[in-house]
Amino acid sequence: MSRLEKADALEQLQGLIVGLRDSLKIDHVVYHWVSADGEQYGFGTYDPKWVQHYVDKEYLRIDPVVSGSFQRFHPVDWKRLDWSSRAARAFRKDAIDHGIGNQGFTIPIRGPNGQFALFTVSHTTDDAAWSDFTQAEQRNLILIAHYLNQKALKLEKGRAPEPVRALSPRETDALTFLAMGYSRGQVAEMLSISEHTLRAYIESARFKLGALNTTHAVARALCEGLIVIGGAARAAAGNWPGREDPRAAAR
């Protein structure tokens, strides 16, 4: 932490990442910043061949670590992510074949103006050993992740995202109901618009938020306080005739 605070160049951060990996005695430590336009920036201990392969294959679009972390604010063990799709399973096998490890632990980071980044540690080991490791190191990893992001923002000022633009009332309604778990068809019916029109509202909101996809747009809107999922929102949803909160239905 002391060395991180004193760092004044990005090259030093790479060296600190390597030192942290060696100190923790694990396979990899990676900092991964995903910009609004899909550009990826970061540093870490992955083999450069894997990094280029990841970009060439456009794995950003199917990586459960990235998509899953968009929906979370707390650290997540990779085992808890959704790997059920064929694309996700193929991606995981490819990653393991490239030496990424069969275990991983990722800390989502949300910075100013909706900035989104990930801090990840990964290793090849069994479930019990990995559980012991993450329980012992979680507090330190969270602290380091946020200090590292703060330093990266300071050293890479040109990459800091612009403030988000205000959403229209319809865009706000659309993202709010999607965040509450309603399908697009349900939301369109609730707003008395076609799904085509709803798609236009969602795409407009996504553009304003600088989001990669709808899930990212909802996460960023929540993070920025542009939509609020609480009693008032649920009450408003309940006023739509014939509409039942999907979470209540699940119960």
DSSP per position, 41-76: EEEESS-HHHHHHHHHTTGGGT-HHHHHHHT-SS-E
101: left (phi over 0), alpha (psi -120 to 50) or beta: left
| Assigned token pair, 26 | 């694990």
Domains in the chain, please, with CATH? 2-159 (3.30.450.80), 169-246 (1.10.10.10)
For residues 11-39, average pLDDT: 86
Q: Using the Cα atoms of residue 203, residue 206, residue 211 and residue 214 in order, give the sign of their dihedral.
A: negative
How far, in Å, CA of 120 to CA of 67, rounded?
A: 14
Q: What is the pLDDT of residue 161?
A: 54
Helix, strand or coil, per DSSP, at residue 29:
strand
Closest to 36 measured CA to CA, from 165, 150, 228: 165
The whole-angstrom separation of Cα 234 and Cα 121 is 38
Q: Which of 2-6, 26-30, 35-39, 59-63 is predicted most confidently?
A: 26-30
**Percent of residues, the chain, with pLDDT higher than 90:** 52
Angle, alpha carbons 158-164-170 (nearest 5°): 155
Query: Which of 11-20, 89-98, 114-123, 154-163 has the lowest average pLDDT?
Result: 154-163
Task: Work out the average pLDDT over 218-230.
Answer: 77
| CA separation for the pair 249, 107 (Å, rounded) | 32
What is the rounded CA–CA span in Å between residue 44 and residue 56? 18
Residue whose pair of structure tokens reads 């990995």 in the numeric block: 130
User: What confidence score (pLDDT) does residue 232 get?
Assistant: 44
**Token pair of 128 as six digits:** 């019990």
Residue 123 has pLDDT above 90, yes or no: yes
| Nearest CA among 211, 201, 143, 129 for reference residue 167 | 201
Out of 37-41, 89-93, 172-176, 245-249, which region has the weakest mean confidence (pLDDT)?
Answer: 245-249
